[in-house]
Amino acid sequence: MTTTIRRFPLRRVAAVLVVRKRDGEGWLALAGNVGWFFGSLTEARVEARWLSQNLGLPVREIVA
């Protein structure tokens, strides 16, 4: 598994987000101003669950 860490504009962390990349070529797990890129929704969900448990935040998915 290969991951890439990308920094996003700082924002209040209310949940761990799982979203599809704009080009449709992968998924992001976002927690505050940090995001992890994954090749599959399953991998992104696993990371989001781990982050949720360790940060005490809910997971929200935007899978449209």
For residue 27, give the 3-state DSSP assignment: strand
How many structural domains does the chain have?
1
DSSP-assigned beta bridge partners for residue 28: 19, 37
Q: Which two tokens stand for residue 57?
A: 């935040």
pLDDT at 8 over 90: no
For the stretch 29-56, pLDDT in tens is 988 778 888 999 999 999 999 999 988 8
Give CA–CA dist 35/18, Å, rounded.
Answer: 9
Dihedral sign for Cα atoms in the order 50, 55, 60, 62: negative
| Residue 58 φ/ψ region, left for φ over 0, alpha for ψ in the -120 to 50 degree band, beta for the rest | beta
pLDDT at 9: 59
DSSP-assigned beta bridge partners for residue 7: 34
Q: Residue 9 sits in which domain range?
A: 5-62
Query: pTM of the prediction?
Result: 0.74
* pLDDT, the chain, mean: 83
